[in-house]
Amino acid sequence: MKYLIKRHILLYAVALTFLFELLTVILRFGFAMESTRDTASTIGLMTMGLRVHHGYIGLIMIAAAVFIRPQHMLAKWVFIAGLALFASDMIHHFLVLWPATGSPQFHLVYPQ
């Protein structure tokens, strides 16, 4: 695949968003994992109590894609992955968790 056109970028981002969200839903509901409970003692210590949502990583990747040569294939894939991570995080918190649990659980810090 020599190049990606805008339509392909969007299609790949939607497909990757679906895969990220599927994995997130399986971990959350299939394995009963909750990031607030299950990562506070590990990742929470490394981030000094700040929650790192995968949407944050996605935003960083989108910004990084701007600094890579725009025509370079890596820039497009970093952008696609970043967009998918961000979209998956928003979908997970506001379209999945909020209706399913009554709270979006979009915490910025771990509970004390």
> Residue 12 belongs to what domain range?
6-101
Q: Is residue 106 part of a domain?
A: no
Q: Looking at residue 71, what DSSP letter applies?
A: T
For 62-80, write each residue's pLDDT tens digit.
999 988 877 788 899 999 9
Res. 14 pLDDT band, cuts 50 70 90: very high
Which residue's entry shows tokens 């805008």? 6
What letter does residue 49 receive in the DSSP assignment? T
Does 108 map to a domain? no
Q: Can you tell me the distance from the alpha carbon of 80 to that of 26, in angstroms, rounded to the nearest whole number?
A: 22
Answer yes or no: is 111 within a domain: no
Number of domains in the chain: 1
**33-42, 44-53, 78-87: which is most confident:** 78-87
Q: Is the pTM of this model over 0.85?
A: yes
Confirm whether 11 is domain-assigned: yes
The CA distance from 73 to 12, in Å, is: 13
